Each structure stands twice: as C-alpha cells, then as structure tokens.
Homo-oligomer: A and B are copies of this chain.
C-alpha cells in the first residue's frame, strides 16, 4: 500500500545526541524519559543514581543494559562514554553546582534543571566552570520553548497589544510533605519562589525581553506549620521594568495549583491560564474585536529542550537559555528575598539591550 514517502521520522538512535540523566526522581521517570524517547535528535544512553535497583529497572524499560547505570561515585566513569554528549542534572538544587562542575571537568555539556543554583553567586560559579571547560551550559527553562509562550512574547513585541503597561503572574501549588527536600533551605536554597515562583520571574522577563530595575516583596511564613520552618509559605513581589512597566507576582506552597500570566496593553491584553503546566497551556488574546484563543501544533516541552540543546551541541551554538539566563533569575530572586527581609525596595542593575542573557532562538513548532 503506497504511503506518503515523506513522513518525518526520528533520527536513528546511534546518530542522536546522547544524554546521561543524573537523578531519577518523579520528573525523570514521568516526563523526561518519555520525552527523550519521542524527541527528534536526542536519546538517553545512561542513568546516574544512588538507587541502583530503580536505575536498572528504568534502564531495562528503555532498552538499556546494566552497564548504563552509574552511581554518583562513578559519575566520572562517563568520561569514557563517547556516546554521552551531555548530562542532564535533575537533582536537588543544592547538588546542581557540584554535578555541573564535575560534568564540566570531564568535558560533557550540561543541561541543568531550574533554579540553576542556590543563589546568584553559586550560579555564576557554574557558568564560569563550564566556560573554562569549554562545554555548553543550558538552564532547563521549558516554558521558553513552547509555541504558546512564544506567541505571548510575539504578541508583546509585535505591537498587537499596543504599548504594554502592566503585567501579573501567579504560580502556586501545595507542598504538603514536611519532609520534602524542597522545604529544606540547605537543599533548596529557598521556598516556593525558587521552585514555582521562578516561572513567573522568568516568564515575565522572557515575554518582555527586558530586565527589572527594582524589586519589592513581602512574604509569609506561618508559625506552627512544620512545613514552613525554614522557607516561606507564600510570597508576593513587584518588579519595576524600564519605561515604567510594573509586574506583580504571587507564589506559594500553600495554595492549590494556579498558574497565570497576564499582560495588559493599551490596545489589548493577553492571558495565559494555565500558564506553566507540562501540557495544556492556554493562551488568549483580547482586543476590541473580542477574545481569540489561537490554536497551536502539539509539541512536548521537554522534547523541545532536549532537541534544542542537542542542536546547539552539534552546531556549537549558545543555547537560548544558557547559564547566564539562570544566573539572572537568581539575581532577581536574591533581590526579592532581600526586599522581603528588609521591607525596602531593592534596586537592580539591568541587562544591556533586549534579551541580554539569552542565546540562539529555538525552533518553535508552528512559528515562522
């Protein structure tokens, strides 16, 4: 039966960019492994974990063998693996720097989960380590790779909304396990801000292509709740951007999942709601004609990341969200925490020009 001869097929496995995934938490099992298997240019060739049994099971599940599972102590054995082009660090935040530095030392490119580090200084050190070693570093900001978020950004930059005046973003979810590492300051570096609020900060910066000049913030850390002994429960922040633009943000580990982004312009407004889920991001644009909900080609956020970094590795290009992009969010978040502590506005040096900390734009499905 003659079928269309030109269907795009994924690359053959051996030619793809090979990743070792470091850390086998829920994100790895539920999202990353399925995503890499359906990507175009990447494949997973090794796992690094302290849980050997789990690593072996997952390896078997994806057609890998015993030799493809490493302990953290054996991490440097990846040196000899020619098929490992890059490592993907999916560990608690406090371990990011160590493993990024160890990866750089053995000459592997690094894709690192957000937040990049524990704070701006920590993250800067990671950037320097990778620069010195001549490997690429990418911060895994999946929302800078979706058609929906790019359409939001394009609506802002095309003038479709008229001059933008105000923005608003919310990202909250419930963390109910007092033992979760995300609630330990030494492991996470902060509370909901660095885990979920970072999406607000990062996406506000992304859609504007600009950097905040000042920050004000307030937080709440309730007495008597064992979850919030070390980190904040809820936090509100205000960011002042060039030209008088102001953005409000809310984040929390104490409220049921909500994620939104709203941009208010003189001619129209845009709403992403939900703004930050893995699937089902919904964008609408409202102007005097009414409300438009554009349709988008389906795409997998994690596959997009795997493929973008794979192509950057092949072509020696700087990723769209390099380490510097991760550093800048830490700069802003450090200021947010400082403002919340002092009750004072904190001023920031801004980046120079549009997209000051970003690299080569990604290919986005359905975008010209």
Chain B positions within 8 Å of A254 at CB level: 163, 165, 266
A220 contacts partner chain B, Cβ-Cβ < 8 Å? yes
Pick the residue among B246, B287, B345 that contacts A234 (CB under 8 A): B246
Q: How many copies does the complex hold?
A: 4
A198 contacts partner chain B, Cβ-Cβ < 8 Å? no
Chain B positions within 8 Å of A267 at CB level: 256
| Size of interface on A: residues with Cβ below 8 Å to B | 86
A298 contacts partner chain B, Cβ-Cβ < 8 Å? yes
Chain B positions within 8 Å of A165 at CB level: 172, 220, 233-234, 252, 254-255
A236 contacts partner chain B, Cβ-Cβ < 8 Å? yes
B264 and A269 contact, CB distance less than 8 A: no
Given known contacts A38-B34, A63-B13, A1 and B295 CB-to-CB distance under 8 angstroms: no
A37 contacts partner chain B, Cβ-Cβ < 8 Å? yes
A266 and B174 contact, CB distance less than 8 A: yes
Per the bound structure, the CA–CA distance linking A40 and B206 in Å amounts to 37
A-B contact pairs, 28 of them (CB 8 A): A2-B50, A5-B51, A7-B26, A9-B29, A9-B61, A12-B60, A12-B61, A34-B38, A166-B234, A166-B236, A168-B168, A174-B266, A216-B218, A220-B245, A233-B244, A234-B244, A236-B238, A236-B246, A238-B248, A246-B250, A256-B264, A258-B269, A260-B262, A280-B280, A289-B292, A290-B293, A292-B292, A344-B344
A186 contacts partner chain B, Cβ-Cβ < 8 Å? no
